[in-house]
Amino acid sequence: MPLTLVAGVGHWALGSIAWLLLGSLLVGSLPGIVFGSYVSVRLPALALRLVLAAVLFLVAGQLLF
């Protein structure tokens, strides 16, 4: 969320900001932060690493094709 906010401020300084898009990104990131914080302390480290590796693998596959 802080990265999205900083990027939004940078676009605002340049004069090319899409307020609706920035708001949607900020609001959409809140549930992910809450869910990720909740799950990350309750899952065993190995399971969390496997889930993150699988997600990164799937994203990389989507970017390649």
Closest CA to 1 of 24, 34, 25: 25
List, for residues 35-46, the tens digit of each pLDDT value. Answer: 988 988 998 999
Whether pTM > 0.75 for this model: the answer is: no
pLDDT at res. 49: 93
Instruction: Please determine, for residue 8, whether its predicted confidence score (pLDDT) is greater than 80.
Output: no
- Greater confidence (64 vs 6) lies with 64
Instruction: Please determine, for residue 1, whether its predicted confidence score (pLDDT) is greater than 70.
Output: no
Long-range contacts of 48-53 (CB under 8 A, 24+ apart): none
CB 25 within 8 Å of CB 34: no
CB 55 within 8 Å of CB 37: no
CB 4 within 8 Å of CB 21: no
